[in-house]
Structure 1
């Protein structure tokens, strides 16, 4: 075992022999929660090889397991993986855990949870990020900019560089720190403990501001779109002008085509039948459609609406010579609207639960 004190301030241990792994395995097997990351050799091929397994334990210690060699791979699969990776009582956290699930074995790994999915549960007004990549979360939640370029390094080479080892060791630590900061942002509400009057008051209070923010965002969007369409500009700042073709087909033609390609009626070709279509059918046809279809009944929520704006529709004076400034203005308008919309949606969900 090698102990490393990184220039970046992280202390970690590297385990490179089956004997090291034999000592570490019982310690990790006693944990109730760990944070995990992996590095993979030949990751973009059909036969990726597990190169490193990085762990952050509950006591704060960081461990990097070098499992690429045949001897270490055998020790990992026979000793460590069954007692740790396959142990459901050990909660494991990873960012983009679907990758770890794939490389560790989808049917083998147990108790694996994802900080990316956890972040997705946080409303935008509490986590105002458009990207939930680990680097974005670390920068927002921890105030540190991290470089992920080594993610695509050659993890099949040996020896690994000091920079590669530091990068690998930091990942489970960042996962831990992000997890701890995300936890308080994921909130559940007890309807019995809610104050309906306060929630309704806040809901109504948000409506005019959200409406105005939406109108301003739309004004910028419409001005950019009009400029690009009128001048046939395919690109302006981060905006693209694309053409979409929509073809409407009579339902009898669609039905005939389906009957031709699937005369035995084996495949499931299902479309939503709007009420207007059902009402246009003869009584017998409507009954046949209803009998063959599957009806879904959902509840529709309608809350208070904002009062009509006293002023007219806002307009945006677009300066074609300042594309970057316009893109920044639109991003700010999008953010302002998204914050209010996110909070209103959360309040709506709480009201629905009453």
Structure 2
């Protein structure tokens, strides 16, 4: 069995051809799609976070709204850029969203992806410490965030408070017990996957990875997952770390699918991004029987316990629900995922 969810980048565009022409469209349709996905039997609704772009940027109001409208589906991000985050404020927001959802938050965080603007985190008031990079800053913010999620008191109470305090040092509120175990790190390299395991975070691996061996993407990604699991075991954690991969997968079951994605199947691509050589994973688009055979060969999907289907959110709720349903109905059972 494998958990299957969707990952939306939350694009909007004023073009008449777009089904999401405004931020309001994207936010409201994201809620509707999460509700529809839950009704179809999907396991997760995940959302990308990008600043300074016509995409979703402030995840917690959206996650809280989805949590209030659904009952079962996991709700998450993939990923929040920790270079931009105040860990203290983030703990409060995350705790509130998790409590509203009844403990279903699966929060993906990371160093972040290439940006729309130069050093955008500086506009949010963050500057790396002397001798640090922006990636170091993201990891520092993450370590503070993880420690705060433990819920231990650290702040000295006012001797004359407005409201009565519990005894001892105070923690941030609201505290959501168990959320610390549902934090995921988006790793682009084997080394950061190992670091995530050492810190007790779950692993999110997307469709872009640092090219470390020159092998096909899915093989490198599978090796990354294995390195993570080995590091997790060595760290001695008492629970099992979860792993997810993201894929663009389209089952062509009607003429509309063929018109949109009949030529979308692709192969891995190698190139440079943010001054490192990366490998970009392929897209899958085929008739269900062909798709099943292609997916059998993907080692990383086989290794991961969770698969996130990247969706074309600008095509609207109804069509994206159809895409999710096609995978759940025609593909997942044949591969033993359902």
- TM-score, with structure 2 as normaliser: 0.25
Q: TM-score, normalised by structure 1?
A: 0.24
Identify the structure with bigger relative contact order (alpha carbons < 8 Å, sequence gap 6+): 2
Normalized per residue, which structure has more helix?
A: 1
Structure showing the higher strand proportion among its residues: 2
